[in-house]
Amino acid sequence: MDTLWNKGTEAAKAVEDFTVGDDRTLDLQLARYDIQGSKAHVKMLLKIGLLTEKEEKALQNGLDEIAGSIENGTFALGKDVEDIHSQIELILTKKLGETGKKVHSGRSRNDQVLTDVKLFLRDQVVEVRNGVLGLFDCLLELSEKYKEVLMPGYTHGQIAMPSSFGLWFGAYAETLADDMLMLRAAFSIVNENPLGSAAGYGNSFPLDRELTTQLLHFGTLNYNSIAAQMSRGKSEKAVAVALDSIASTMNKLAEDCCTFMCQNFAFISFPDNLTTGSSIMPHKKNPDVWEMIRGKCNRIESVPNEIALLTTNLPHGYHRDLQLLKGILFPAITWTRECLSMSEMMLKHIKVREDILDNPMYDNIFTVEEVNRLVLSGMPFRDAYRKVGAEVNSPEGFKSGVPTEKNTAVLNHTHEGSIGNLCNGQIRKKMTEAANFGHFK
């Protein structure tokens, strides 16, 4: 295998295959970012006198040509080339000769790869943010649309108190706003420039790290060179924790939808073309999309723990173990984006049942309303509780407090966040503030 770090001896092929693993495939996702980092690095090398203007221009043009091949899909790794970083440098060397060999001056594979990963993660976090905003908007629109439609609320899986579809949809919207804060924190951590930290101990060249920070639009530097290298693993875990938070929300939403689609509930339904059938039972409309979202989100939620276990006993500095982070995190990012997109698509076609509470089995959800009415009329709370409880346990069952019209207008819920006062405007403001990151000039 053609490796730039080769000192004249060849490792056994089994060792090469084992240590490289599937990095050649995963690294293709980093190719464009390797170009971005290299272009900034080359411009900095010109400023500090390690390149002439002619050399810098040649390298920039060469990098632009490679970038074009990456974008049009013709860029590929030679079968004997270790990774995209080697491939790019080898292309430059073959094209530009001695000038091509100068591209790596003042940097190590360690800070080169770490810069690529951070640039990639930064873009991916922004894409996930956009997916979260799409799902959030959909949920808040549904909350407003169905804010007058009551449904039973549950605790311990038992019928509890009046809820509404407006409250249910809005709950997931606000939870996504909290998840966005986690994503914003992850963005801040990956938005720090490690380029120039070299192998973790800096460099004797007078590198201008502030310049590369500006050129790559990083928010700030990883100042300490060792700290920069220690951010490998930390950055991936920060993103994984944010994905975990989002996945937890989608997982619960998916489970609710699976449950509410069941004929025993029949609260919601979806068009036939968004459900699947059975090979033997012609009546089935299976919630396969929601089940896959639920399953993928469970896998996403395992990722922070997997990263923690991989990195927990590593001392400072680079270790080859860290290469495995890409195979853990990169698929989880893809799953998160897919689940956000599919959740939004499904909800755009949801049909809500508006007569759920006409069924007398749900009459008991109004017991608390009756207790509160009696308390407001002057009866002590404990006496009102016993009176209504006795009625519930009577042969006739609870009837006195069941409203004739079952909608939010007949319930006196006015406090913030209740079914009569959803505060969707405040929830949107919370999300807008949380999502205000990732806008590059």
| Residue 307 DSSP symbol | H
Three-state SS at 422: coil
CA nearest to 183, candidates 228, 133, 114, 217: 133
Distance of alpha carbon 111 from alpha carbon 58, whole angstroms = 23
Three-state SS at 51: coil
Residue 275 pLDDT greater than 90, yes or no: no
- What local confidence, expressed as pLDDT, does residue 148 receive? 94
Residue 234's contacts (CB-CB under 8 Å, 6 or more residues apart) are: 189
Identify the CATH number of the domain defined by range 13-104.
1.10.275.10
Q: Which CATH class is domain 109-357?
A: mainly alpha
Residue 440 pLDDT greater than 50, yes or no: no
Tell me how far the alpha carbon of residue 386 is from its chain's centroid. 48
pLDDT in tens, 378-434: 999 999 999 999 999 999 999 999 998 887 777 889 999 999 999 999 999 999 999
Distance of alpha carbon 249 from alpha carbon 333, whole angstroms = 15
Sequence ranges of the domains in the chain? 13-104, 109-357
CA nearest to 25, candidates 64, 90, 81: 81
Q: What is the dihedral of CA 429, 433, 438, 441, to 10 degrees?
A: 90
Distance of alpha carbon 78 from alpha carbon 51, whole angstroms = 28
Three-state SS at 426: helix
Three-state SS at 273: helix
Distance of alpha carbon 357 from alpha carbon 163, whole angstroms = 11
- What local confidence, expressed as pLDDT, does residue 408 receive? 78
- Name the token pair of 248: 């937890």
Report pTM.
0.92
Distance of alpha carbon 420 from alpha carbon 412, whole angstroms = 7
CA nearest to 246, candidates 305, 325, 178: 178
Sign of the torsion formed by the C-alpha atoms of 292, 190, 74 and 88: negative
- What local confidence, expressed as pLDDT, does residue 22 receive? 67
- What local confidence, expressed as pLDDT, does residue 213 receive? 98
CA nearest to 21, candidates 325, 331, 335, 329: 325
Helix (H), strand (E) at residue 296: helix 288-311
Q: Longest C-alpha distance within the chain, in Å?
A: 95
Residue 416: phi and psi, rounded to 5, are -60, 130
Question: Residue written as tokens 């970038």?
Answer: 67
- Give the residue with greater pLDDT, 11 vs 120: 120
